[in-house]
Amino acid sequence: MNQKTKIFLLVVVVATGIAGIVASGQLALAGGNGHDTIPLKEAKLIIEHNDKDKDTGFQGFLDSEGWNRITVTGPDGKVLDFRGEGELGRLGLTELFFETVEPENADVPIEEVLETLPEGEYTFEGTAIEDGKKLGKTIGTALFTHDIPEGPELLTPAEDAEVPEDEDLLVSWEPVDKTIDGDNILVIAYQLIIEKDVAPDQHMIGKFGLSMYLPPDVTQMTIPEEFLEPGTDYEWEVLAIEESGNQTLNSSSFSTSD
């Protein structure tokens, strides 16, 4: 092998090594430090309509192994952008719940509210992070519709009724099978919420009460007397949840005897 051949081979080896390093770097950047895309555990976007107060808004929820940036994009483009900054941003977040302002239907008709978010698929995408280490990207999708169920008609107890505190209490409501426009709809669950009508404790998230999801064929529930306190005001509501997650609630109140 002559000198020129040796030099040529050396150049080829060096060039190949550099190309390999550059390619590896590009793959690392494109793949988020070499990690695969991590799917979100949950990604949801729904409508919540209040049949009693006549107002309507949007809610969203996501759950993940960890993130510090999430962008929500829909058929018309970007909708929301969330960023975790500072120490908590570096640590990483897992869950996120958000709720929009709910304008009264008399001021902003439902049709105008729905124009804010068209029906279709929405993408939740961002940076995956865990214990301060970036893991690439995380992504999930949510199907969003404009199917809004009617509000359940609450039957018992009657509005502002006084009930015995030393007896079990039957709460009941009418089933829902129509939208607010009168179209057929499939309700997949009801949510029953009963809470004491008091301000929440300053160090607690939520009020004293109960919340349960029930199958669509269940329209009543017996509340044991042990749950009720004497001389106490309660608020209760039932949400009808249709198959894409949109929900409509109706609410009422009762009190217990001393």
Query: What does the pLDDT look like over 198-228, one tens digit per residue?
Result: 999 999 989 999 999 999 999 999 999 999 9
Q: Judging by DSSP bridges, how do beta strands 77-83 and 96-99 pair with one another?
A: unpaired
Do 199 and 241 lie in a common domain? yes
Return the CATH number at 47. Answer: 2.60.40
Domain that holds residue 65: 38-144
CB atoms within 10 A of CB 139: 17
> Do 174 and 133 reside in the same domain of the chain?
no
Query: What is the spatial distance between Cα 244 and Cα 238, in angstroms, rounded to a whole number?
Result: 18
pTM: 0.84
Is the alpha carbon torsion for 117, 96, 213, 237 positive or negative?
Answer: negative
The verdict on residue 119 lying in a domain is yes
Residue/partner pairs of 128-131 with CB below 8 Å, 24 or more apart = 128/32, 128/35, 128/38, 128/64, 128/65, 128/66, 128/67, 129/66, 129/67, 129/68, 129/90, 129/92, 130/65, 130/66, 130/92, 131/66, 131/91, 131/92
In angstroms, the CA 106 to CA 110 distance is 9
Total residues belonging to the chain: 258
pLDDT tens digits, residue range 142-195?
A: 999 999 999 999 999 999 999 999 999 999 999 999 999 999 999 999 999 999
Point out the domain boundary residue: 144, 173, 196.
144
Cα Dmax for the chain: 108
Domain count, the chain: 3
